[in-house]
Amino acid sequence: MPNPYISGTGFYVPAREVTNQDLMQYMDTSDEWIRERTGIGARFFADGIGEGPSDLAIPATKQALENAGLTVADIDFIIFATSTPDYYAPGSACLLQDKLGFELIGALDIRVQCSGFLYGLSIAEQYIKTGQFRHILLVGAEVQSSAMNLTTEGRDTAVIFGDGAGAAIISATDEDRGILSTHLHAQGKYAKELWCEVPASGLNPRITPEMLKEKRQYLYMNGREVFRHAIQRFPEVINEALDANGMTTDDVTMVIPHQANYRITQFVQKRMKLPPEKVYSNIHKYGNTTAATIPIALHEVVEQKLIKRGDVIVMAAFGSGFTWASALLKW
C-alpha cells in the first residue's frame, strides 16, 4: 500500500497588511488589548473588490507545486478547504482548477472551517492509500475580512480573523514516511456558537436589507464558549493521535496547532507540558486564517528547517461546527 506524504508546501497572504493600530481607525480597541487577549499584531485583508480564496490559492499552489518538483499536469485531484468560498456555487476548487489550468480532474470543496485542512488531509490520505491517486493538491484558503463587523460592536471577533492561503501536495511513496493517522470529530450541537447565519438557503430571499441592518451576515463568535471547548478538545485530539501510534509527546518534534488564538495555544502547550519551542505559532503575523492556518504554519516550519526527515509532527485543529481533528505524520 502506498504511503501518503507531503511532498511540497506553499502559502500566500494578500497585499494589504492591517495592523492593530489600523483597526483602531474603525473601532474602539487597542494594540495592547488585542495582543494580550489573542497574541495578534497584524493580519492581511483581501482587496474587497473580487479577490477570493481561489485567487489567494493561486500563488500558494504554485509554490507548493514548485517545492514538490511537480507541475499542474501531475495533479490527480484537488481538495479545497474553505469556510468562505468565492461563491455559493460552484465551489472554489472548480475555480482554482480553471485558473491554474489543471487537467479535467476532480475538484472537491470541503466546508469544515478551522478543521478543514486536517479533514482534507484525511481524505487525501485515503485516496493515496487505495492507490486511486498519486498526487493530490490540498488547499486551505479563506477571505474572512468580508465577514467581519469592523465596528466597536463587532470588535471581539473582528480583531481575530485574517485572510490567507496555504497549500500542500500529498503524494504517494513506498518509503517509510508520511501520514500515520488522522482523527476527525464534530459536535453540531454547538453550531451557533461560531457561525455565519446569512445568506441562508433556508430563507427566501436568502438575504434582505433588514438582515444586513441586523448584521446577520457577519461571523458571530461566542468567545468564552469557544475557548472552553478548544482547551479541552486540542489536548484530547492530540493525545488520541499519540495513543493511536503508541507515542508520547517525547516522540514529537513539533506540534502545529490551528492558530485560533495565542492564549488557546499557550494553554494547550502548558497543559500538555510541552516546551514552547515544540508548539509552532505565527498568529502574531497573520491572525486566525481559519482553514489556512495549519498549511501556512506547516510551510513556515518546513522553510525554517524546524523539522527534518524522520521527525514526528502532530497537527491539530478546533473550530466552528464544532469540529476538531488531528494528524500525526512521520516527516
Contact 139, 165 (CB under 8 A): yes
* Active-site option among 183, 229, 258, 299: 258
Distance of closest approach, residue 263 Cβ to ligand ACO, in angstroms: 5
DSSP label at residue 2: P
Q: Which stretch binds ligand ACO (CB under 6 A): 28-36, 117-125, 162-170, 184-192?
A: 28-36
Q: Which positions from 182 to 201 touch ligand ACO by CB under 6 A, shown as an x/- string?
A: ------------x-------
Task: Determine the Cα–Cα distance for residues 146 and 215; give it in Å rounded to an integer.
Answer: 12
> Any contact of residue 266 with ligand ACO (CB under 6 A)?
no
Does a cis peptide bond (omega within 30 degrees of 0) precede residue 4?
Answer: no
User: Considering the rule CB under 6 A, would residue 236 count as an interface residue with ligand ACO?
Assistant: no
List the x/- string, 54-93, binding to ligand ACO by CB under 6 A. ----------------------------------------
CA distance 244 to 232: 19
CB of residue 49 to ligand ACO, shortest distance in Å: 26
Active-site annotation holds for 288: yes
Asked if omega into 205 is within 30° of 0 (cis), the reply is yes
Question: Looking at 70, 112, 159, 198, which residue binds ligand ACO (CB under 6 A)?
Answer: 159
Which amino acid, residue 40?
I
Among 155, 183, 233, 299, binds ligand ACO (CB under 6 A): 155
Residue 183 known to be catalytic: no
Exposure letters 229-262 (e unless 16+ CB within 10 A, then b): bbbebbbebbbbbbeeeeeeeeebebbbbbbbbb
Q: Residue 132: how many CB atoms within 10 A of its CB?
A: 12
Of 3, 67, 149, 288, which residue is the catalytic one?
288
Q: Is 284 in the site for ligand ACO (CB under 6 A)?
A: no
Which among 299, 291, 295, 318 has a CA at the least distance from the CA of 183? 318
- Annotated catalytic residue within 3, 67, 94, 114: 114
Which residues make Cβ contacts (< 8 Å) with residue 226, sequence separation at least 6? 193, 194, 260
| Residues between 207 and 226 with contacts to ligand ACO, criterion CB under 6 A | 221, 223-224, 226
For residue 147 the three cell numbers come to 465577514
Report if residue 18 touches ligand ACO, rule: CB under 6 A.
no
Based on the shown chain and the rule CB under 6 A, indicate whether residue 37 belongs to the binding site for ligand ACO. yes
Give dist(CA 118, CA 81) in Å, integer: 9
Residue 156 within binding range of ligand ACO, rule CB under 6 A: yes
By CB under 6 A, residue 29 contacts ligand ACO: yes
| Pair 11, 167: CB distance under 8 Å | yes
The rounded radius of gyration (Å) of the Cα atoms in the chain is 19
Residues that bind ligand ACO (CB under 6 A): 29, 33-34, 37-38, 114, 155-156, 159-160, 194, 221, 223-224, 226-227, 230, 260-261, 263-264, 288, 318-319
Q: Indicate which residues carry an active-site annotation.
A: 114, 258, 288
